[in-house]
Every structure is written in structure tokens, then in C-alpha cells.
Amino acid sequence: MRYISTRGQAPALNFEDVLLAGLATDGGLYVPENLPRFTQEEIASWAGLPYHELAFRVMRPFVTGSIPDADFKKILEETYGVFAHNAVAPLRQLNGNEWVLELFHGPTLAFKDFALQLLGRLLDYVLEKRGERVVIVGATSGDTGSAAIEGCKRCENVDIFILHPHNRVSEVQRRQMTTIFGENIHNIAIEGNFDDCQEMVKASFADQGFLKGTRLVAVNSINWARIMAQIVYYFHAALQLGGPARSVSFSVPTGNFGDIFAGYLARNMGLPINQLIVATNRNDILHRFMSGNQYVKETLHATLSPSMDIMVSSNFERLLFDLHGRNGAAIAGLMDSFKQGGGFSVEQERWTEARKLFDSLAVDDAQTCETIAEVFQQTGEVLDPHTAIGVKAARECRRSLDIPMVILGTAHPVKFPDAVEKAGVGKALELPAHLSDLFERDERCTVLPNDLKAVQSFVSQHGNRGKPL
Ligand SMILES: *Cc1c(COP(=O)(O)O)cnc(C)c1O
């Protein structure tokens, strides 16, 4: 499998190189040159497979030529073996034909473990083979950081630096990062917001001199391997609900557009998906595009669903690339005008094409709390605020009651006690056993100003298992 850049100017890469690449050299994102397509019979034959075996079948075409089957199978069995639920991603029924796909049974209690547990193992495998070391610099609005640190903490050849916005992640989220110690683990709190953190990561990829020749790897959802891993659970959910003979719809709590883009790919690979709902919080750039063809940056609002607090959605570029007939020059132009003027619209027929599959809703904090309370009254289930936004959007935007609606349950409610408390469900939430002493553990973290040079010099001073590069 070969991968090409959405901006058309960077060289095509194989899987191994795309795993290590992050952003393409032309500023674009890598996508598969040709998407594999499965027949309905093939997909149907996967019903009942354990999660890791389904994962092998769905992802195999993407890694062919880079990882032998036997090794890939072993990696996947280990990856999904760490999840606390035997079904890995169980479905829970909320209402008639309405389901939550629980993606929060991994080590850090959010869906990001599906991709980052795999990414850490894939990196270790590839780096060991090559005899190389890398540095990861990643930005997090909360959940990516802990999932990346958990995924990489045992990697021999990786030093990981995670930037989070100082005082803007929940205490559980912060502690899930800062209480994991290792000479290769570095937590940095930036005096700024998530987009500041993300910009620093992007700038570091653009100019890597501070790394003195060490390779920089991305763990943000711009990394193709993360998207790839997330395709699997769309198949997993649909197969349990009568797919592929029957089509299924999904409502996806969305920030950077990575998770829902994986659903879009699952559909293009042959899985019958009727509708994909982009569920956003008040940071609604994607909802404004889907509802009014305006992709315009606005100010950032802090919400009760901080993992979706973004101003721009980096993976949206991957969808735009397809909507523009995979014309890299057109995407480079759009992104340029976005950077300069702060916004764009696409031609009407391209937007109409997107709207055949996608619907959207922006949900504010008050509605989020109302939904948590409503679902608790209906079912006794406590939803986390991100999942609640998915439920609200599913209920508002649903096209057909006959088609099963699956809401991606992106996090465990215990990670976001503020929202749950505000919703007044009055049910004490307990940390799962492996995290029960989280609030007693020591923390390790460095606070740095919102300044690229300060961050880069910190990385070069500590990038070799705590020593200078
Ligand atoms: C990361 C995250 C999201 C947003 O996912 P994207 O792939 O960035 O769209 C939603 N909910 C939770 C809990 C998250 O951690």
C-alpha cells in the first residue's frame, strides 16, 4: 500500500514510512493511494470474530508489504488484549434501535486507546527493526496525551513529549498523564490553549533543526495509523447490528474530524453506512460547514467537553481532498486562503456531495447536561459529556428510525466529573480498579510559556531518555 499527500507535492510513502512521517513535507496529510474495498460476502463472513481478528482483516491491506501477517496478528492480539472488557468495544442499547458503542474500556478510558495502544506497538516494532530512535511531540486537549503516554511508555526507542494547555484539562485527564513516570516520558503544560499547543507541534514538524537529526513522529490524529485503527470499530458495530445486510448510522462526537473520518473510510471500503452525524460542542466550525458551507475560524470557547474544544479540524483536509477529486493543488490553495483570510466555502456540488452522507449539530453545555440527565432518567446510564453530545445530535438529526443508530461512546464519565455533577444525576462515579489510587499518586510536569523556542529547547535538552539529544 502506498500513501499520498493531500497537497500533492510530497513523495508517496509506504506504510512504515507513513507511520513515522506525521505531516507530509508539503504540509498535507497522508491518505492511502487506493482504498481497499471488501465485498458484502467478505464482510458478512467476519461476523462473530474476536475484535483483534476483525482488526487484522480490516487493516491488513493497509500494512501489506511492511509488516508480515504473523507479526501483525501478534501485535493486534496484544493491543486489544489490554482492554478491560472482553468484547473490547461492547454495544449498549439506550432506546429502540439506538445504541452506544462503548469505546472507553482501554487503559485511559477514552476511544483514543484503540489507536494509540496500537501505534506504540507498531512504532516499537518498526524502530527495533531499523535500529532507530525517534522523538514524539504531541498536543492534547486532554485524552490524546494520556493515551499516547500509555501507548508509548514501554517503547525502548521513543521519547515522548506531550503538550497540554495549562489548567484547561480535567484533573483526571491531567493525572492520567502526569502520574506516569519514565525517563522517556515528558509532560509539558503550556500557558495557552489547545490550538497554541497544536500550532507548536506543527511548527516543530516544519523546522526540525532543534532535533539534531533525530526523527520527529506525530501522535495526533494526523498520523495515518490512528485513523486506520479507528476504522475497525465501525465494522465491529455494524456486524453486531445485522450489517452488512442492513445499513447502520453513526453519530460521532467530533473535534479534529479523525474519528468520523474513519467512519467515512469504512463506508468507502464497502460497509453500508446510511448517515454520519458530526456532533460538535460550541466550537462548531464543522457544523457551520456542514449546515452552511462556511469553513471559518472563530474564537475558542472552553466547554464541558474539552476534548472537542478546537478552532480548526486538522483531519477535515482529508475529506476535502476527496470532495475535490483528490486534486492536491486545489487543497493547497484552499488551505492557503484559510491561513490568510480565515475561511472558505467549497463549490455547491461538492458541498451537496458531502451532505448526502453527513449531517451535523452543535450542542452547547446546557443541552449537554440536559442530555446526560435525560438519558440517566431513561436508562440509569451516566454518559460522559462528549458521548451526550453524540446522543443529542443523533436524536435531532436522525433520518430514519428503521436504521440502527450507533452513538460512539468516546469516554468514560468518570473522566469528566464537572459535567456529570452539573447534570445533577446524583450518582457517585468510581474510577475503575486500575486507576483507583489516581488522586494519591505523585505528579511530574513542567510548565512552559506559550513560546515555541522554549518548548524546542526543552525537547532538545531532554530528548534522549532525559538527556540532551
Ligand atoms: C478526541 C476526542 C473526541 C474527538 O475526536 P476527533 O477524532 O478529534 O474528532 C471526542 N470525544 C473524546 C472523549 C475525545 O477524547
Assess whether pLDDT exceeds 80 at residue 414.
yes
- Give residue 121's pLDDT: 96
CATH classification code of 87-108+224-422: 3.40.50.1100
143 Cβ inside 6 Å of ligand 1: yes
Integer Cα distance of 390 and 360 in angstroms: 10
Catalytic residue among 73, 74, 112, 392: 112
102, 222, 256, 372: which to mutate for ligand 1, most atoms within 8 A of CB? 256
The pTM for the full model equals 0.95
Are 117 and 148 in contact by the 8 Å Cβ rule? The answer is no
- Give residue 171's pLDDT: 87
Q: Torsions phi, psi of 373, nearest 5? A: -65, -45
312 Cβ inside 6 Å of ligand 1: no
Q: How far is the CA of 457 from the centre of ligand 1 (A)?
A: 30
Q: How far is the CA of 144 from the centre of ligand 1 (A)?
A: 8
Average pLDDT over residues 321-339: 95
259 Cβ inside 6 Å of ligand 1: yes
- Give residue 163's pLDDT: 96
221 Cβ inside 6 Å of ligand 1: yes
Average pLDDT over residues 43-49: 97
Average pLDDT over residues 201-222: 89
386 Cβ inside 6 Å of ligand 1: yes
Assess whether pLDDT exceeds 90 at residue 317.
yes
Report CA-CA distances (Å) from 384 to 10, 12, 375, 423, 429.
40, 40, 11, 10, 11
* Atom 1 of ligand 1: nearest residue by CA position: 307
For the question of residue 112 being annotated catalytic, the response is: yes
Q: Torsions phi, psi of 305, nearest 5? A: -120, 70
C-alpha cell at 72: 501483525
Q: How far is the CA of 258 from the centre of ligand 1 (A)?
A: 8
Looking at ligand 1, which atom is closest to the CA of residue 258? 7
Integer Cα distance of 104 and 110 in angstroms: 4
- Cis peptide leading into 413, omega within 30 of 0? no
Render pLDDT for 84-100 as a digit per residue (tens, 0 to 9). Answer: 999 999 999 999 999 99
Average pLDDT over residues 355-373: 98
Q: How confident is the model at residue 169 (pLDDT cuts 50, 70, 90)?
A: confident
Integer Cα distance of 302 and 35 in angstroms: 37
* Atom 14 of ligand 1: nearest residue by CA position: 307
Assess whether pLDDT exceeds 90 at residue 107.
yes
Render pLDDT for 119-134 as a digit per residue (tens, 0 to 9). Answer: 999 999 999 999 999 9
113 Cβ inside 6 Å of ligand 1: no
Q: How confident is the model at residue 222 (pLDDT cuts 50, 70, 90)?
A: confident
